[in-house]
Amino acid sequence: MRHYEYDIGIIGGGAAGLTTASGAAQLGAKTIVIEKEDKLGGDCLHYGCVPSKTLIKSAHVYHLMKQAQAFGLPRVDLPPVDFRQVADRIRSVVDTIQQHDSKERFCSLGAKVMSGQPRFVDEHAVALNGRTISAGKWVIATGSSPVVPPIPGLADTPHLTNKEIFYMDALPGSMIILGAGPIGIEMAQAFNRFGTTVTVIDRSSQVLGKEDKDMADGVMQVLRAEGVNFVLKASIEQVEDLPKGRQVTIKDTAGNTHQFTADAILVSMGRSPNTEGLGLSGIGIAVERSGIRVDHRLRTSHSHIYAAGDVNGGYQFTHAAGYEGGIVISNAVFRLPRKVNYTWLPWVTYTDPELVSIGMNERAAKRAGIHCQAIIESFLDNDRAQAEKKTDGKIKLLLDEKEKPIGVQILGAGAGNLINEWVAAFNGKVKLSTLAAAIHPYPTMGEINKRVAGAYLSPKLFSPAIKKGLKFFFNLKGRGCQ
* Statement to judge: residues 435 and 379 lie in one domain: yes
Beta pairing, strands 305-307 & 131-140: parallel
Mean pLDDT over 93-101 rounds to 95
pLDDT recorded at residue 389:
96
Domain that holds residue 244: 165-269
Least confident span in 232-241, 281-290, 472-481:
472-481
pLDDT at 276 (0 to 100): 96
What does pLDDT average to over the chain?
96
Q: Within 13 A of 302's CA, how many CA atoms are on the CB side? A: 20
Choosing from 253, 269, 285, the residue where a domain stops is: 269
Kindly state the average pLDDT of the residues 33-62. Answer: 96
CA 61 to chain centre: 22
CATH number for the domain including 390?
3.30.390.30
Confidence of residue 444 (pLDDT cuts 50, 70, 90): very high
Classify residue 206: in a domain, yes or no: yes
277 and 258 fall within a common domain: no
- Give me the number of domains the chain comprises: 3
Establish if 170 belongs to a structural domain: yes
User: Are 285 and 362 contained in the same domain?
Assistant: no
Q: How confident is the model at residue 476 (pLDDT cuts 50, 70, 90)?
A: confident
Phi, psi of 106 (to 5 degrees): -70, -30
Same domain (yes/no): 122, 210: no
Asked, for residue 342, whether it belongs to a domain, the answer is no
Residues 329 and 416 in one domain: no
* Domain containing residue 250: CATH number: 3.50.50.60
Within-domain flag for 227: yes
For 293-335, the pLDDT digits (tens) are: 999 999 999 999 999 999 999 999 999 999 999 999 999 999 9
Indicate whether 10 and 127 sit together in one domain: yes
How many Å apart are CA 367 and CA 371, to the nearest integer? Answer: 10
106-151: pLDDT as tens digits: 999 999 999 999 999 999 999 999 999 999 999 999 999 999 999 9
Q: Does pLDDT of 479 surpass 90?
A: no
Indicate whether 465 pLDDT > 90.
no
Residues 245 and 207 in one domain: yes
Residues 24 and 133 grouped into a single domain: yes
Give yes or no for residue 1 having a pLDDT over 70. no
Average pLDDT score over residue span 91-108: 95
Does residue 301 share a domain with residue 239?
no
Section 222-231 average pLDDT = 98
- Residue 439: pLDDT band (50, 70, 90) is very high
Task: Identify whether 325 is part of a domain.
Answer: yes
Query: Which band of pLDDT confidence, cut at 50, 70 and 90, is reported for residue 58?
Result: very high
Q: Is residue 358 part of a domain?
A: yes
Q: Are residues 278 and 235 both part of a single domain?
A: no
Q: Are residues 128 and 17 in the same domain?
A: yes
pLDDT band with cut points at 50, 70 and 90 for residue 358: very high
Is the separation of the CB atoms in 93 and 15 below 8 Å? no
